[in-house]
């Protein structure tokens, strides 16, 4: 069938759950914005006035909006705060024209930012999604004035990390990966939190991270990790020449999934970036250490 590739196969596999989500999503915080490429879950909290800055937060999949609610509460008194889930993850479903490659996702960001009327925002992203944020900021500089990134090494190191995380190479194998993620999405998500949080974390801490994700998946959410991995690993480099916005990268040093990653390697791609290490944090510095992370956000909103 012409045009029917592994990514179209993945959409087909998740189609029934998308219908389930449409029946169960009433009452969720936020709303759904149809961009033409995806149906995106967005929480948009107005700022204290027309001149308030804008903070855009993108949860690191499989995290969802609910993981970010404490951060929303902390910054809503001084900024418009927008949280959205990436298409293919959580409650946001991609449509037929959506591409999981970095340039395609950056273009999809532009459609969403246009719908929401966002300009000159501070953009907060993590891990593999952060490369889409960098591409977006470079391509559409009027939309982003500063980037705050977490767990972002040099691009080639991120690709090596993705290969190591995909034990056996099944997720990154077209067709096979889509089948695996559709069948084992809860197993993969549960394993992820065990590995991404610092060694010795309690069952309660694990539940604090996993439960909102499981709730999203149970109501019909998606976890299209195979599509993202396959596109990421097919990418040959990430040109960032001309990126004008200031970038701060925060690194959780107790992230066991990045034990073999060179944290400051990001400076190879972004030599002018600010690099900050939280030695005791795992994969989620903003969630694990808000008392240290939030001052960085305040500074970004202040333009310092």
Q: What is the pLDDT of residue 241?
A: 84
Q: What would the 3-class secondary structure string for 92-116 be? A: EEECCCCCCCHHHHHHHHHHHHHHH
Average of per-residue pLDDT across 117-140: 97
CA 8 to chain centre: 22
Report yes or no on 1 lying in a domain. no
Q: What is the pLDDT of residue 84?
A: 98
Report yes or no on 276 lying in a domain. yes
Range scoring the smallest mean pLDDT among 2-11, 50-59, 67-76, 123-132: 2-11
- For 133-155, write each residue's pLDDT tens digit: 999 999 999 999 999 999 999 99
Give the helix/strand (H/E) hosting 38: strand 38-45
- For 219-271, write each residue's pLDDT tens digit: 999 999 999 999 999 999 998 888 999 999 999 999 999 999 999 999 999 99
**Banded pLDDT at 2 (limits 50, 70, 90):** low
- For 89-111, write each residue's pLDDT tens digit: 999 999 998 999 999 999 999 99
Report yes or no on 250 lying in a domain. yes
Q: Is the pLDDT of residue 274 over 90?
A: yes
Report yes or no on 282 lying in a domain. yes
CA distances from 95 to 160, 178, 233 (A): 29, 16, 22
Q: Is the pLDDT of residue 3 over 80?
A: no
Q: What would the 3-class secondary structure string for 191-254 be? A: HHHHHHCCCCCCHHHHHHHHHHHHHHHHCCCEECHHHHHHHHHHCCCCCCCCCCCCEEEEEECC
CA distances from 262 to 11, 69, 86, 151, 276 (A): 35, 31, 26, 11, 14
Whole-model pTM? 0.95
Range of the domain at 172: 6-302
Report yes or no on 15 lying in a domain. yes
Q: What is the pLDDT of residue 26?
A: 87
Report yes or no on 272 lying in a domain. yes
Query: What rounded mean pLDDT belongs to the chain?
Result: 95
How many folded domains does the chain comprise?
Answer: 1
Q: Say whether 63 sits in a helix, a strand or coil.
A: coil
Q: What is the pLDDT of residue 1?
A: 52
Which CATH number is 82's domain given? 3.40.50.1820
Burial of 170 (0-12, 13-18, 19+ CB in 10 A): middle
Q: Is the pLDDT of residue 304 over 70?
A: no
Q: Between 225-234 and 155-165, two packed helices, what is the crossing angle to 10 degrees?
A: 140
Average of per-residue pLDDT across 185-212: 97
- Parallel, antiparallel or unpaired: strands 222-223 and 89-90: antiparallel
Share of the chain above pLDDT 90, in %: 93
**Banded pLDDT at 174 (limits 50, 70, 90):** very high
Report yes or no on 84 lying in a domain. yes
Report yes or no on 83 lying in a domain. yes
Token pair 């040093």 is at which residue? 253
* 295, two tokens: 């001052």
What number of other Cβ atoms are within 10 A of residue 159's Cβ?
Answer: 21
Average of per-residue pLDDT across 184-195: 97
Average of per-residue pLDDT across 214-220: 96
């Amino acid at each position: 069938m012409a045009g029917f590739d592994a990514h179209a196969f993945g959409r087909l596999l998740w189609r029934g759950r998308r219908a389930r989500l449409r029946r169960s999503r009433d009452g969720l915080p936020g709303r759904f914005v149809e961009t033409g490429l995806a149906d995106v879950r967005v929480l948009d909290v107005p700022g204290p006035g027309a001149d308030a800055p804008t903070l855009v937060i993108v949860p690191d999949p499989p995290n969802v909006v609910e993981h970010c609610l404490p951060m929303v509460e902390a910054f809503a008194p001084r900024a418009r705060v927008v949280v959205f889930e990436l298409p293919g993850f959580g409650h946001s479903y991609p449509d037929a024209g959506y591409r999981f490659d970095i340039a395609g996702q950056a273009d999809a960001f532009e459609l969403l930012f246009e719908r929401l009327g966002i300009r000159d925002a501070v953009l907060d992203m993590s891990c593999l999604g952060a490369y889409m944020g960098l591409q977006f900021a470079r391509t559409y500089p009027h939309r982003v004035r500063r980037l705050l990134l977490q767990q972002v090494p040099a691009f080639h190191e991120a690709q090596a990390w993705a290969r190591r995380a995909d034990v056996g190479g099944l997720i990154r194998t077209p067709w096979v990966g889509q089948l695996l993620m559709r069948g084992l999405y809860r197993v993969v998500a549960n394993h992820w939190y065990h590995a991404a949080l610092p060694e010795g974390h309690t069952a309660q801490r694990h539940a604090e991270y996993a439960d909102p994700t499981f709730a999203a998946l149970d109501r019909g959410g998606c976890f299209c990790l195979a599509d993202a991995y396959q596109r990421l690993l097919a990418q040959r480099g990430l040109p960032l020449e001309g990126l004008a916005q200031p970038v701060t990268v925060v690194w959780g040093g107790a992230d066991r999934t990045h034990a073999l990653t060179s944290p400051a390697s990001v400076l190879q791609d972004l030599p002018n970036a600010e690099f900050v290490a939280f030695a005791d944090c795992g994969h989620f510095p903003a969630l694990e250490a808000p008392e240290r992370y939030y001052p960085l956000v305040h500074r970004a909103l202040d333009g310092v």
